[in-house]
Amino acid sequence: MTIYRAVIPAAGFGTRMLPAAKAIPKEMVPVVDKPAIQYVVEEAVQSGVTDVLIVTGRGKVAIEDHFDRLPELEACLEARGKTEQLAKVLAPAALARISFVRQQQALGLGHAVGCAKGFTGSEPFFVLLPDDLVLSEVPVCRQLLAMMQSPSESVIAVQRIPLEDTEKYGVVSIDEATGLIKGIVEKPRPSEAPSNLAVVGRYLLQPEVFRHLEQLTPGAGGELQLTDALASMIKAGLPLRACEFVGQRFDTGNPLGLLEANIGMALSRPDMRDRVLEILATPSARDGA
């Protein structure tokens, strides 16, 4: 089975990244030499996706520009014989058929995913949250697909976290007999968390999710939460499976996570690894001088 469509919600304000995200979309903040959102689109494409919908909001035009052509720059690079840079500039627009829809109001992740109903139609689709970058041999979306045991299942990426961090995530409980998710709670207190398995920003969803999204009322933070729609699907008897993926995850939506992502991605590149290790080993890097 191949899933051809992916939805990337990118309409949030990025408050954890202020003031950097005031004038620049947080999804466009560089990780080494590419904006964070490009890594996420690349993961989708590596998983078989051919069509991507990015849900944007006000002030996010830079995302659309990045995935568009820029003939003037292309001509300049070509005239100067800068073929390597030209290839990098051309790459984003050639990744997939990329389209955009604007979320008119910032009503939450559930509402943002709901904006994609006309795009996905009656097919299953991936949702990738651009804050989450994952270094892995097998793209996480491919891991979700491999975890499916029937064509009607939805699959959600999960990761074990310290119990004290549950208030930052949606948290699932698993039916040990079936391996299916039997409950999901958005940002529970540690004392109320059903487990330490946290939902990470990769989902394989069936089209039935839209019916449950349309019935949402404001949840955690006063927003329409995707987690609540998933909980509604479980109550309706629709199968959701958890995939404890293999890979190193970085949360680029906060300053330290972004720094860690830059280091991790640079270390994964043969052309940078040795130099990065040298920099990290210098006395100033070790001692904070």
Domain ranges for the chain, please list them: 5-263
Has this prediction a pTM greater than 0.85?
A: yes
233 backbone dihedrals φ, ψ, rounded to 5°: -65, -40
pLDDT value of residue 282: 85
Chain-wide mean pLDDT for the chain?
94
Q: Mean pLDDT lowest for which of 144-148, 185-189, 274-278?
A: 185-189
What is the pLDDT confidence band of residue 92, given thresholds at 50, 70 and 90?
very high
Domain topology for 5-263: Spore Coat Polysaccharide Biosynthesis Protein SpsA; Chain A (3.90.550)
Q: How far apart are CA 9 and CA 110, in angstroms?
A: 10
For the residues 106-116, what does the mean pLDDT come to?
A: 95
**Pairing, β 170-174 against β 181-186:** antiparallel
Q: Are 168 and 90 in contact (CB under 8 A)?
A: no
Q: How far apart are CA 70 and CA 135, in angstroms?
A: 29
| Listed residue (41, 11, 39, 44) closest to 25, CA to CA | 11
Buried b (16+ CB within 10 A) or exposed e, 235-264: eeebbbbbbebebebbbbbeeebbebbbbb
